[in-house]
Structure 1
Amino acid sequence: MSFFDDIKECLFGGESISPPFRLCLIGSGAAYIENVTGIKSFSPEEISVYLKKGGLTIKGSGLYIKKFCEGDLAVAGEIISVERV
């Protein structure tokens, strides 16, 4: 069972849910997002992505994309805020 599946089981029991995206913040230095469909824009201060439903903007400093593969995105740098758009 994956990390996100463990969390889903803990929060929702056996209930079947399919969230439009999954986000895990690791302190203020990294973020891991599942179900990303594309990258709208990126700079060291802001990364905006498309999700299956809507989008997400990460703001901070020294941001960079560490991984983008098969809908998974890993971002590193100093994360100040994450906003659903």
Structure 2
Amino acid sequence: MERFLAISPKSQMWLFHTALALNILGMVLTDMWLPMVVGTIVTTYLSIDVMVRVRYVLPMKKMMRDLEHENASLRRKMTDVEETSVY
């Protein structure tokens, strides 16, 4: 989810979890059930989405980037070895 580019994913996680807590508190304290239930469903989705992104997707992307860099350096070494072995 790249819609919220102004703040970091960890800040988004805190923001959405705080919004979820406030929605649940609003459901308990007020009689506006329908808007609060809709808000709670939306913030639950956003909270889970950002938590999955922070805990799993972003570290996986970093690991993939590191593996691609290592793969490229190994390919360069292989071509260097092949070039020197030809002579």
Structure ranking higher in helix proportion: 2
* Higher alpha-carbon Rg: 2
TM range (shorter): under 0.3
Q: TM-score, normalised by structure 1?
A: 0.19
Structure ranking higher in strand proportion: 1
